[in-house]
Amino acid sequence: MDEEGFIDRNEECRILENMVEELDKGKGGAVVITGEAGMGKSTLIEWVIDKAGERGYDSFQGSCISRNGLEYYAFKEAFEDIASPNESIPSLPLGISIFSDGRSEEEIPLFDSERQNTLRESFEAISSMALETPMIIIIEELHWADKSTLLAFRYLSEHSRDHPIMLIASYRSDEAVGYHLLDETIHHLKQKGICKEIDLTSFDVDDTKDALHSLLGEEPPYWFARGLQSKTDGNPLFITETIKSMRSKGILIPEEGVYPDIGSYLDWPSTVKYIVERKMVKLDKKTKNLLKYASILGPSFPYNLLSDFVDMDEMEMLDYLDTAIEHGILEEMISTEGYRFTQQAVRDVLYESQFKGKKRLLHKRAAESIENIYYGDETPYGRLGEHYENAKIYDRSYENYVKAAETAEDNDEKIRFYKAALNVSNNTSMDAEEVKEEFGNLLLEHGEKLIEEGSEGDLFLEDAKVIFKDLGDEERHKKACRLLGEEQDNIYK
């Protein structure tokens, strides 16, 4: 599947295409497509509609809105053009008005004889239409479904297996939290073997790289795909919108090999911000305020650090954390006795919603809390460096970044922290020549090793070349040039 040159859900497409093909044999079925906002549910549904259209099948599409008490709202919307007697449709029995018994939802119990008559007569009308032309019925936003719509979906799913009727429902898993009637409906249908479920999950790094290739028309560097996947949590819509935003701002020019540093990119597109803000709309003010404080600490944070950082009754704070977990904003990390934001975008939007002056003071306070709790080798020097940098206490930031680089266990971490130390060194009185030399040697060795392994090492060698030119180290500068396939007789060429 390739919608707008981007999404690739081969296994999901195979399941849906097999169900469409079964309609030829007079066999129907039901499927629920779930996933967080941005995972590609609507795109997948559009693909199914196109496939059905190629076979000449009919598609009827409706959407639920805010559990508003309107009886069978989504089904009425789907069949709005034929909901009243229509002599132009011979297979629709005259006198039948689909999904209508003239009462409001408040007036009707969940199960009663009149409701059952409405469902039976509506199904008879729909199944007689399907004898003429197989059909697909799509009900979107099922997390907003009123109880009558859920009952209708259940009834049609149970009765359509021997008719050329395919039902597709979709809902956002992050907005269905606590809607027990929806959970019970889907559980019942799955338990009876009546309904399939497709759970759209995030893209991994390889999926992201393939998606970027389709989006950009160029093979992206692996480090860029990895950074984007981490930043967007593999959400296909977040990936697409972020790439569009970067291109419009001229900071991503793949045809010229220009790729930005993802780690420092906080400027989320408005579409992503809207999705994130909608996810938090049900949170009470105190829970949201606690999450804003937590966002200062980073994408993840230990419980004891948050407790020291926030002046709040412990039991009250735990209640707010539980609320955030219930709404899919945080998840607990049992092994580290901490929490993490379920999406980087959620943390970023909360962080950016605070005033700069307040954030500077909060970062200073966060650094002090870390120093209150951790000692010696357990100290997260990298986090300390970040907090002091954001607090504009640059000497302390530089010192901690250097310690973080020196104690890091892998080269990627060492490189990240050395680079951060050198970035803040211009705002300090520190002599960074020795650190710069150590960083250059690390880049040179790492880049050479990657090239020997057949991986991408040019980026590291380019940085090493610049550092050694700045230091006046002609020998190592030439080595970097040689590894890059460049010939230079003079270091300043």
**pLDDT attached to residue 486:** 80
Residue entry with tokens 């790729």: 259
3-state secondary structure 332-351: EEHHHCEEEECCHHHHHHHH
Are the beta carbons of 197 and 29 closer than 8 angstroms? no
Residue entry with tokens 């540093």: 261
**pLDDT attached to residue 68:** 54
The residue type at 87? E
**pLDDT attached to residue 355:** 94
Strand order in the sheet with 58-63: 58-63, 135-140, 165-172, 29-35, 195-199
**pLDDT attached to residue 320:** 96
Residue of 341, 328, 338, 429 lying closest to 380 (CA atoms) = 338
Q: How does the average pLDDT of the chain come out, rounded?
A: 86
* Separation CA 148–CA 156 (nearest Å): 12
Whole-angstrom CA distances from 30 to 22, 127, 136, 154, 184 are: 12, 15, 10, 9, 16
| Contacts for 378 with CB less than 8 Å, ≥ 6 apart | none
Concatenate the DSSP letters of all residues of 111-179 into one string.
S-HHHHHHHHHHHHHHHHHHHHS-EEEEEE-GGG--HHHHHHHHHHHHH-TTTTEEEEEEEEGGG-TT-
**pLDDT attached to residue 347:** 94
Instruction: Give yes or no for residue 490 having a pLDDT over 60.
Output: no
Question: How does residue 261 score in pLDDT terms, banded at 50, 70 and 90?
Answer: confident
Residues 409-423: pLDDT tens digits? 888 899 999 999 999
What is the value of pTM for the model shown? Answer: 0.76
What CATH number does the domain located at 10-199 have?
A: 3.40.50.300
**pLDDT attached to residue 7:** 53
Residues 123-143: pLDDT tens digits? 888 998 898 899 999 999 998
**pLDDT attached to residue 303:** 95
Question: How does residue 402 score in pLDDT terms, banded at 50, 70 and 90?
Answer: very high
Neighbours of 2 (CB within 10 A): 9
Residue 102 vs residue 387, higher pLDDT: 387
Within the chain, how many helices (H) and strands (E) appear?
21, 8
The mean pLDDT value for 326-344 works out to: 90
Residues 85-127: pLDDT tens digits? 444 443 333 233 455 544 444 444 555 677 788 888 888 889 9
Are the beta carbons of 222 and 456 closer than 8 angstroms? yes
Q: Where are the domains of the chain?
A: 10-199, 205-264, 431-493
**pLDDT attached to residue 335:** 80
Residue of 275, 270, 312, 263 lying closest to 291 (CA atoms) = 312
Q: Can you read off the two tokens belonging to residue 243?
A: 């790439």
**pLDDT attached to residue 32:** 94
Neighbours of 132 (CB within 10 A): 13
Q: Can you read off the two tokens belonging to residue 415?
A: 């490189």
